[in-house]
Structures are given as C-alpha cells and as structure tokens.
Amino acid sequence: MKSIIWAESDTRRSFSDFSFIRRLDINTLININYGRKFGEPERDLCEFFTVDKNTMEQRQELFAELLEKPALYERLSKSFLVLEDFFEIQKEKETALSNEKLLYSIKELETRVEYLKEIKSIFAECEVKSRALQTLWEKVKPICTTKEFDAFCEEVDKQIHTITEIKSITVGINLNAQMKPVEAGLISVHEESYVSGEFMDKLMRLNFKNNEFVCAAPLIPLDKSLTAEEASSLRASANSALNKVFASGLKSWSGVVKKYAVNNLNVLSHAIHEWRFVVACMKTLTELNEKGLPLCKPSFEESDKITGLYHPILALNSSDAKGVVKNDLTFDDTASIYVLTGPNQGGKSIYTQSVGILYTMLHLGLPLPAKNADIKAVDGILVHFIDIKDRSYVHGRLSDECEKIQIINKNITENSLFLFDEALSSTNSTEAVVIATEIITAYSDIGARGIWTTHFHELCSLEESYTEGKAKIINLCARIDETSHKRVFKIIRGHYGQSYAMDIAKAYNLTKDEILSSIKK
C-alpha cells in the first residue's frame, strides 16, 4: 500500500547511530509527540529518518504545498482528527458492554461518513500537486466516489435519524391474577414524547381526542417513584428493547454495513501515524515561515553548496529572527574537512550545530533553513560535542571521550558527515593535537565531510602539511570586526591567528607596552 511520506523505492534503511538527535537538540526543534493524546505511547523521531532521495523529495514537495496552502493543511488536519476518532471508537466498541455495542456501531458509521464526505470535499475543491497528497486521494477516492458510497451515506443518515429521533417507547405488560406483571415486551418506538394527563380526562377524551401520547396519569420521574434497583432494572429492560430495534435496523442493510464498516478505512490506519509526523514538522516550519525566515527546497548534487544557512532553534527563540546571522557552507573537491577556530562565543559552535541541523532536516525530508542549497545526502550524522555537565564519565573524561570517538570511527564512511566541537579539550594541547591530527587525517583519507571546531590552533597547519587525503582540509575562522574588534558571528575561510589576538589586546590595553605604561603612571 502506498504511503504518504515514504516513496515506493524506499527500503526504510536509515542511520545506524541516532545520538546526534540529543547532541543537536533536535527534539526541541521537532517535537514528534506534539498533539499526542493521554495514554498514547510516545513516538520516536528516529523511525522517520530516511536516506532515500525519492522519499526526501516526496516529503519536501508535501511540506512546500502545505506551507503554500495553509487552509488546505488546516482542513486536512481536522479530517485526520475525525479519522482518529473513528479508530478510537472502534477500540472503545471492543470493550463496551453488549447493550452499548450497537450504539458504538452507529457512532462509528457516522464518523466514517463525516470523514469521507469531508475528504471528498477537500479534494474536489483543491487541486493538489504533491505526490503525497495525490497518494492520499488515491487511497480514499475508490471509497467515496461510488454509487455504493452514496447509498451507504443515505442509509447511515436514515439510521442515525431513527436513533436520534426516538423520544419514547410503548411497552406491553401482562398481569397475573394478582395484578402483578409477569411478562413485558416492546410494542413500538416513537418520535414524540409522552406527556402527563389525568385518568378521568383520558377516560372522557377531554381535549385529547387525537393524541395518543397523553398518559392516563401524571408522568413521574423514575428516580422519585422507584428504588434504585427498580429503576436500574427498568432502564436495562428498555435498553435491551432498544438494542433489538437497532439490531433489526442494522441487519436490514447488513450487506452495506459490512462492506463499509469493516474494511475500507483500515487502509488509512497507518496514514494517521504518518500525518502525526507531518503535523509535528509543520508546527516548526510554520513558525519559521511566519518569522519571515527562508526555507528552501534543496537540489540534490554530488557536492554541497549552501548559502544563507542559519540556526533554526536560535531563530525561533530570537525576538529578532530576521537579524539572526546567516553563513555559507561548501563541501567539494577543494574543501571537505574544515578546521574551525576563533574566539570564544564567536559563533563556532552555533555554526557547527547549524550544519548538523540542516542535514538532519534534509534526512527528515523537510525544507532546509537556508536561502539556497545544493546538497549531497549522507549515510550518517556523526556528532561529538563536549558537554561539561556530563557526569557519565567512568574511566576519566579523556578515556571516555576517546571511547566515544572510537564508536564514530566504526561507523564513518566517505559519505558520512562528522561534527566535532572542542573535542579532546580535557587534556593538554600537546596530547590533544597529536590525537586530533591522527583522527582528522584518517577522516581525510576516508573521504568524509565534516567540521572540527577547536581552540588548538596548531591543527590549522594541516591545511598545508596534509594534502594527500581524499578530502581536502581547509581552515575556517569566526570573524571579528577589524574596527570595533567585536564578534560578528560570520564564518569565513582562513585562520584565526595572532593578528586577531593582538587586535583584541590593543582594544583592551593588554599589550606589553600598554601594561608597562599603565604601571608607570
């Protein structure tokens, strides 16, 4: 059966490691449990990742169309809520008491008709372009565009009218010689309520000539005239009688009910699960869109060139989203591995995270947080960020860090993306540079793409000293304004070196001459 969010070519193969979701805080960006009802099991974002280009393109088409047509998205979302109600009613019916099951059946039929009528109306009024929505219509079109469906709707309307319009019943009771009831049975059901009357008025036919719904005595509320046991018994008898009426009505057109009540909407049960993913993603995409931030549909190429890349989580939390700094990124034959240096709080980590989030959104099939993107899919997003609050170190921070890097080494290929932020900062610079050099040059030989953010400037020498690897190593730095010496959070080619440090020293009167001069004064 065709899927809304999975291409037919997709084998559902995905990444082997999903630790990047926590490291990049993706669950803050995409809350897959958004809208989850109480008691429902939690959903896992991992199951929605794909490495299939056709799936990514299919989803990007869907999200682009829904963002372009918010009214369509709202109507489809409401229709899926009705569909969820339908399957919820089915579950409740399974555990209902016998005298309630038929009432659930009626509600089930009513909900089915409500959904199919609405979905038919949506696609009649809206011309959809995305393959995902065309697939949805292909699923429901054979169900709701037939003469049998029209007959089914008519029968359901009649049945519901019969149920909802019942206002009273007539019960026949046989008495024994002692005037005690011994037998009872349902005579008829009515769409009119009985009203109170007096026996003598009824006997003399005063004012009630043609009204058979006037009682021979005043109506008395059950709770006042009967004990709780007697009232319960009477209600049970009435429910039993009504169920027989409902059952008889359903049986008279059981063929239609069976055809539509059992099978046809079951093909959409998994579509609800898929649409929940769509809703979770659309919440984020809509918020970004409303803030005026660019979202682009990528073009799949053999190299990567992204312009106007920004950090979507930072943008969503910013009061001035349009003012969020945007950067560029290129992975190609001339630059595949970047050693990123720069001042503290200069934007290095934000940039590295932005790259990881961009590839995460790519493999979820979402529009990307950038102005434009030519991009190549990856087979893994391998992230190693240092968390100074992490207390899970067992053998010491350096040893445990090396063990985590070792796991990355087992998974990395020439099609992987790696992102390291301040790795090996738990040891001295001499040891860190030696280990980091071994790792970076190995990744270069493998041909992987990635960013190594560091404050060990000695690693910048690899741009010139190691040129034999498949992946070219290039330096990046977080730029500082040359006039004000303030951080501008722009990432550019080059090495954050001594000249920047001297500019900062001069700005704060920390040069040797300034220090000695201040002492003399």
Whether 159 and 178 share a structural domain: no
Number of domains in the chain: 3
Pick from 249, 260, 5, 6: which is nearest to 115 by CA?
A: 260
Q: Any idea what the CATH number is for the domain that residue 363 is in? A: 3.40.50.300
Residues of the chain with pLDDT under 70: 1, 97-100, 102-103, 159, 162-164, 197-211, 216, 222-226, 230, 233-234, 237, 239-265, 387-396, 482-485, 496-501, 503, 520-521
Question: What pLDDT score was predicted for residue 72?
Answer: 96
Query: What gap in Å lies between CA 59 and CA 65, rounded to an integer?
Result: 10
Choose the final residue of a domain: 221, 245, 276.
276
Query: Considering the domain boundaries, does residue 374 fall inside one?
Result: yes
Whether 221 and 297 share a structural domain: no
Whether 398 and 463 share a structural domain: yes
Could you tell me which residues are beta bridge partners of residue 214?
195
Question: What pLDDT score was predicted for residue 58?
Answer: 96
Query: What gap in Å lies between CA 444 and CA 322, rounded to an integer?
Result: 36
Query: What gap in Å lies between CA 48 and CA 167, rounded to an integer?
Result: 51
Query: Considering the domain boundaries, does residue 15 fall inside one?
Result: no
Each residue of 381-400: pLDDT tens digit? 999 997 655 545 444 578 88
Choose the final residue of a domain: 219, 241, 276.
276
Distance of CA 347 to the CA centre of its chain: 29
For residue 181, what are the domain limits?
Answer: 168-233
Contact status, residue 448 vs residue 482, Cβ threshold 8 Å: no
Question: What pLDDT score was predicted for residue 168?
Answer: 81
Question: What pLDDT score was predicted for residue 182?
Answer: 76
Query: What gap in Å lies between CA 112 and CA 202, rounded to an integer?
Result: 46
Question: What pLDDT score was predicted for residue 394?
Answer: 46
Query: What gap in Å lies between CA 204 and CA 216, rounded to an integer?
Result: 11
Whether 263 and 409 share a structural domain: no
Whether 176 and 153 share a structural domain: no
Query: Considering the domain boundaries, does residue 125 fall inside one?
Result: yes
Whether 200 and 101 share a structural domain: no
Query: Considering the domain boundaries, does residue 284 fall inside one?
Result: no
Sheet containing 381-385: give its strands across.
381-385, 417-421, 449-453, 337-341, 473-480, 487-493
Number of C-alpha atoms within 13 angstroms, CB side, residue 76? Answer: 30
Query: Considering the domain boundaries, does residue 228 fall inside one?
Result: yes
Residue by residue, DSSP assigns 69-126 as: -HHHHHHHHHHHHHHHHHHHHHHHHHHS-HHHHHHHHHHHHHHHHHHHHHHHHHHHH-
Distance of CA 147 to the CA centre of its chain: 36
Please count the other Cβ atoms lying within 10 Å of the Cβ belonging to residue 381.
27
Whether 152 and 266 share a structural domain: yes
Query: Considering the domain boundaries, does residue 497 fall inside one?
Result: yes
Whether 90 and 222 share a structural domain: no
Residue by residue, DSSP assigns 175-229 as: E-TTS-EEEEEEEEEESS--B---HHHHHHT-S-TT-TTB-SS----HHHHS-HH
Number of C-alpha atoms within 13 angstroms, CB side, residue 155? Answer: 21
Whether 450 and 346 share a structural domain: yes
Whether 451 and 478 share a structural domain: yes
Contact status, residue 494 vs residue 467, Cβ threshold 8 Å: no
Residue by residue, DSSP assigns 395-452 as: S-HHHHHHHHHHHHHHH--TT-EEEEESTTTTS-HHHHHHHHHHHHHHHHHHT-EEEE
Whether 390 and 484 share a structural domain: yes
Question: What pLDDT score was predicted for residue 378?
Answer: 97
Query: Considering the domain boundaries, does residue 251 fall inside one?
Result: no
- Tokens 């920004």 sit at which residue? 310
Whether 177 and 272 share a structural domain: no
Query: Considering the domain boundaries, does residue 286 fall inside one?
Result: no
